[in-house]
Amino acid sequence: MNDTPPRDEDAHYRERAQRKKELIDRRIARATIDRGVFVLNTGNGKGKSSSGFGMLARSLGHGLQCGVVQFIKGSFATGEEAFFRRFPDQLDYHVMGEGFTWETQDRARDIAAAQAAWEVARRMLSDPDYDFVLLDELNIALVKEYVALDEVIAAVRARPERQHVVITGRGAPDALIEAADTVTEMRMVKHAFKAGIMAQKGIEL
């Protein structure tokens, strides 16, 4: 049996690919601004932090100086912390959270932890030595009003021109979405936890 497509189908495929290439090339040509970007990952689906750490890996691969502040996580070990602490010369890594709020059950303690984390984050955002800054789960601290939204937006806007910043966490405030250059909302379709499967190393931890 001959699976070779007819010549007219081949030609149609090439024409479509050529039109697509021309469109992409025009878009690339129009992208002339070269500066740091503010990326915001939010939504109820899994993958917000994972995406942020993926960008961190890319940045380290390019030799950039990076900083990480984790606002909520902190009461349990994670694979990303174990891995990324192998880059002490390029990465300033801070786990500042007290754990999930339903575990701590102490609002004053949670606020104090978030404020301490924000002070570290604010320092990074004002320092041109940091090329890439990941503020993991900061959105949670904003939603719960542990950290002032206007302070975060002002610090992100005033950061060094070449610095990239990524903020993660569900429930991103509208004003933060408006301020960001790239916004991705993760939507949950299914999650293993709802089927009774415990958190797994390499997947959640």
Q: Domain range spanning residue 111?
A: 33-195
CA-to-CA dists, residue 155 to 125, 149, 165, 200, angstroms: 7, 10, 11, 35
Please indicate, yes or no, if residue 181 is contained in any of the structural domains.
yes
Please indicate, yes or no, if residue 92 is contained in any of the structural domains.
yes
Please indicate, yes or no, if residue 1 is contained in any of the structural domains.
no
Please indicate, yes or no, if residue 112 is contained in any of the structural domains.
yes
Per-residue pLDDT, 47:
94
Per-residue pLDDT, 32:
87
Per-residue pLDDT, 5:
58
In order along its 205 residues, the chain shows pLDDT tens digits of 566 656 688 888 888 888 888 888 888 888 788 999 999 999 999 999 999 999 999 999 999 999 999 998 665 568 888 899 999 999 999 998 765 554 566 788 889 999 999 999 999 999 999 999 999 999 999 999 999 999 999 999 999 999 999 999 999 999 999 999 999 999 988 988 788 989 888 887 7
Number of folded domains in the chain?
1
Please indicate, yes or no, if residue 14 is contained in any of the structural domains.
no
Please indicate, yes or no, if residue 146 is contained in any of the structural domains.
yes
Per-residue pLDDT, 200:
87
CATH of the domain at 82: 3.40.50.300
Please indicate, yes or no, if residue 120 is contained in any of the structural domains.
yes
Please indicate, yes or no, if residue 8 is contained in any of the structural domains.
no
